[in-house]
Amino acid sequence: MSFADYAFRQYLDGDKNAFKIIINEFHDPLIFFINSYVKNVDTAEDIAADCFAELIARPHKFGFKSSLKSYIFSIAHHMAVDHIRKYSRLSLIENESQFVADDDYSTIEESMIKDERSRRLHDALPKLNDNYRTALMLVYFEGMSYAEVAQSMKKSVKQVDNYVTRGKTALKKILAEEGFQYDE
Amino acid sequence: MMNNDDFEQLVYKKADKLKSHDRHMKMLRISVVPVAAAFVIMSLIGINSINLPSQMSSSENLIAEANRSNNANETYDKKSDSLQLDDEYQTPLNEVGELAEATSAYNAGEIDVEKSAENDVADHSQYVDSIASESVTFKANDTITITDQSAVDEICQSLSNPLSEYVGNASQFMCVIMINNTEYRIYHDKVKVLYNGSVSGEFDLSEDTKNVLQKYFPIVF
C-alpha cells in the first residue's frame, strides 16, 4: 500500500487531515496531466478539484481495488476528455497559442519536466492520439507501471504495452520531423 | 492558480455539491421506482385507478357496511354509486331529490312513481330504460339509503346526532332510522333511541325534526 493509499484509508477512518496529504501528493501531477488535455491551467485546476471532490463524495467507488494514484488519474483522464468533448462542441476550448502559463504553473511544469529532452517530448505529446498520449504521460511523467496505467485507463496491460510502443514510434516520427536529434 | 487553502476549500465545496446531488438522485430513485413498479403492476392486471380505503367517502363506507349487515334484498352498486332494490323494488331512487318527490306522492304506505322519474335519473342512464318500463312502489319495511351528504347532515342534525350517514327503514313505527348500531324509532310524537337493540333514550319529536324527516322520508305524521 502506497503512502497515498494509506492516507486515504486514514481519511476514511475519520482523520479529515489525511486528505490534505492526498491533495498535496497529487495536486501538481494532476494539474500537469489534465493541462496536457485542456490547455488551460485554470480549467485543469478546476477539473483536478473535481477529481478530489469525487474521491471525497464517492469513496466507495474506489474500494482499494487499485492504487489511489491509478484511480485518481483515471478520474482525471475521463474528466479531461469529457471536458474537451463538451467544450469543443461549443468552440470554447482555447487553442494552444492562447495559453499563457502563470508562475505557479511554470513551477509545476519545471518539477515535472526535468530536462530539455522531456520538454520536447511533452510538447510533442498533444500531437499523438488520446490513448498513446495518456499511456506515455502516465508511464514517463507520472512514473506509473504498466499495470497501474492499465487500471487507470481501464485497459489490459497488453493494450497499454501496445499504446506505449506505438506511441513512442509515432512520437519518434514527430520529433524527427521537427529536427530533434536523439540517441538510439 | 489558487493557493493550497483555497484549492482545498474548492475541493470540499465541490464534494458537498456532489453529495447533495447524489442524495437528491437517491431520493428520486426511491420515490420513482415504487411508483413506476405500481403502474407496471396496475397495467399488467388491468387496473386504471386505485380507490384507497382512506380515500373512500364516509358515506360509501357506511353504505357498504349497511348493505352488508342489514339489507338482504338490496345491493349497493359502487360503480354507479346507486342503490339497487331487488325485483319489483328495483329503482334508482337513491337520490334525495327523487325521495323528496316520492314523499310528496306517498300515500298510506304506498306510492307510485311514474315515468317522469326519468328526468331525475339522468346521471343513471343505465337504469332509465328499466324505470321507464315499470312503475315503482314503496311499501312498509322497504329500506331506503340516502347518499346525499347534505340530506344526511340535515337529518342527523335534526336528530342531534353527529354521525354522518343513516339508513331509514319504514316499518310499523312511523320510521326507523339506523345510524351504525344506533336505532331511532320515530313515532308520531317521540323518538326512541335504541343502542344494539336496547332502549337507551327517548325524546320528544319536534316539529323541526318532523319537517326534516318528512322532507326526505315517505312519512305522514
When the pLDDT of each residue in chain B is averaged and rounded to a whole number, the result is 63
Question: Is the minimum CB–CB distance between A100 and chain B shorter than 8 Å?
Answer: no
Rounded (10°) CA dihedral B9, B15, B20, B25: 160
Q: Indicate yes or no: CB of B17 within 8 angstroms of CB of A105.
A: no
B58, B165 in Cβ contact below 8 A? yes
In chain B, the residue whose alpha carbon lies closest to the alpha carbon of A49 is B11
ipTM for the assembly: 0.74
In chain B, the residue whose alpha carbon lies closest to the alpha carbon of A23 is B8
Question: Is the minimum CB–CB distance between B12 and chain A shorter than 8 Å?
Answer: yes
Instruction: Kindly report the nearest CA distance between residue A92 and chain B, in angstroms.
Output: 20
Residue range A114-184 forms a domain whose CATH class is mainly alpha
The closest CB to that of A41, out of B1, B15, B16, belongs to B1
Residue A45 in this model has a pLDDT that exceeds 60: yes
Cα B23 to Cα B100: distance, rounded to the nearest angstrom: 60
Q: Indicate yes or no: CB of B22 within 8 angstroms of CB of A49.
A: no
Instruction: Kindly report the nearest CA distance between residue A162 and chain B, in angstroms.
Output: 35
B91 pLDDT band, cuts 50/70/90, is: very low
* Max mean pLDDT range (A48-62, B20-34, B88-102): A48-62
Cα A126 to Cα A132: distance, rounded to the nearest angstrom: 10
Residue B67 in this model has a pLDDT that exceeds 60: no
Does domain A1-112 fall under CATH 1.10.1740.10? My reply is: yes
Q: Where are the alpha helices (DSSP H) in B46-188?
A: 58-69, 96-105, 125-133, 149-158
Residue spans of the domains in chain A: they are 1-112, 114-184
